[in-house]
Amino acid sequence: MKSLLKATVAAFAFVAAGSAANAADVKACYIYVGPIGDFGWSYQHDQGRLAVEEYFGDKVETAYLESVPEGPDAERAIERFAREGCNIIFTTSFGYMNQTLKVAKKFPDVKFEHATGYKTADNVATYNSKFHQGRYIIGQIAAKQSKTGVAGYIASFPIPEVVAGINAFLLGAQSVNPDFKLKVVWVNTWFDPGKEADAAKALIDQGADIITQHTDSTAPLQVAQERGVHGFGQASDMINFAKDAQYTAIIDEWGPYYIERIQEVMDGTWKSESTWDGLAEGHVVMAPYTNLPDDVVEMAIGTEEKIKGGWEPFTGPITKQDGSVAAEEGVTLDDGAILGMNWYVQGVDDKLPQ
């Protein structure tokens, strides 16, 4: 009964945090942009939170708020957590950036961690993962497997992270087939299964036989399965939704990072940093390669190893869409250039929304 009650409260997105003040050393709180049941972005963050609970047991208490809209509402949610005695608050979406900083100013003793942002303060750290490393690999697979030579990309919002993902995918594909084409559709939402499915259908109808996405639901992959084309899972392993269609998935593993940071809070060694890790550190993980011939799996694993060994997909020569040079042969773009990316590489069949 108690658990049912708890779940009901959670379902209303009003978690009664702080009511049970046990002997926990640290209270870690999470703000999610989507429902934890999206089986994508927010789901993976919540898996990270559960990993924290499992690792620390009674020593850490956690709380979360789901489906918190980006914008002014977020500020209220973050502030409430700060007031309720959270020691560290993870705000897990790009759009919480300014709200996080604003609340952090009022609560200098609380640690804040903002995912995917670029503004830090004394008590605000940022963290992100190099998803584009995974996207380079799936781009290579796409170019190997596509018969039409065209892939469809369902994109959410034209922010640097998404643009970098598109570029990395195409660079990977071009490394296999220089003439590979990429069609991009912006759905202007992170989560709308119906719209994502419609976008996938539109792309397939226009000749794409590989579907990939930077949105959070499993719907596009399901359409791929239904139409007999292939695609890649996003944020979590979506193989159950597309047994024959999924080649692999780029999985976000937040657990290790959350455990590390909370441990630092306990030890008093927490510092404001900008963490940006990828395949090498295990923050980005590729799901098992399925439905692929052996040589393609071998290539993918080879690229994975190369990236883990320190090679970066954004290594020149890279030409921008307008023909100018982004990186000379052998030159690697620095982190700032990737995190602020607002241009397409040559070959993207789309105009970047401004």
Query: Which residues of this protein are in contact with other proteins, per CB under 8 A?
Result: 7-8, 11-13, 34-39, 43, 67, 152, 183-189, 191-195, 197-199, 201-203, 205-206, 208, 217-219, 222, 226, 240-241, 349-351, 353
From the CB of 206, what's the least distance to other proteins, in Å? 5
From the CB of 194, what's the least distance to other proteins, in Å? 6
Q: State the amino acid at position 321 in one-letter form.
A: Q
Nearer to other proteins, 34 or 165 (CB): 34
Nearer to other proteins, 58 or 244 (CB): 244
User: What is the distance between the alpha carbons of residues 127 and 104, in angstroms, rounded to a whole number?
Assistant: 16
User: What is the distance between the alpha carbons of residues 51 and 53, in angstroms, rounded to a whole number?
Assistant: 5
Residue matched to tokens 């190099």: 130
Q: State the amino acid at position 95 in one-letter form.
A: G
From the CB of 186, what's the least distance to other proteins, in Å? 4
Nearer to other proteins, 184 or 259 (CB): 184
From the CB of 12, what's the least distance to other proteins, in Å? 4
Structure tokens at 151: 């892939």
From the CB of 252, what's the least distance to other proteins, in Å? 15
DSSP 272: -
Nearer to other proteins, 220 or 313 (CB): 220
Nearer to other proteins, 59 or 183 (CB): 183
Nearer to other proteins, 40 or 278 (CB): 40
The CA-based dihedral angle spanning residues 187, 192, 198, 199, taken in that order and rounded to the nearest 10 degrees: 30
From the CB of 82, what's the least distance to other proteins, in Å? 24
From the CB of 239, what's the least distance to other proteins, in Å? 10
User: What is the distance between the alpha carbons of residues 202 and 206, in angstroms, rounded to a whole number?
Assistant: 6
From the CB of 117, what's the least distance to other proteins, in Å? 23
Strands (E), the chain: 26-31, 60-65, 88-91, 111-115, 124-129, 150-155, 181-186, 210-213, 230-235, 246-252, 274-277, 284-286, 318-319, 325-327, 348-349
Counting Cα atoms < 13 Å in the Cβ hemisphere of 242 gives 30
Q: Which 3 state secondary structure label does DSSP give 89?
A: strand
Nearer to other proteins, 148 or 240 (CB): 240
Q: State the amino acid at position 99 in one-letter form.
A: Q
User: What is the distance between the alpha carbons of residues 266 and 346, in angstroms, rounded to a whole number?
Assistant: 48
Residue 65 Cα distances to 78, 259, 270, 327, angstroms: 9, 19, 23, 42
Nearer to other proteins, 67 or 120 (CB): 67
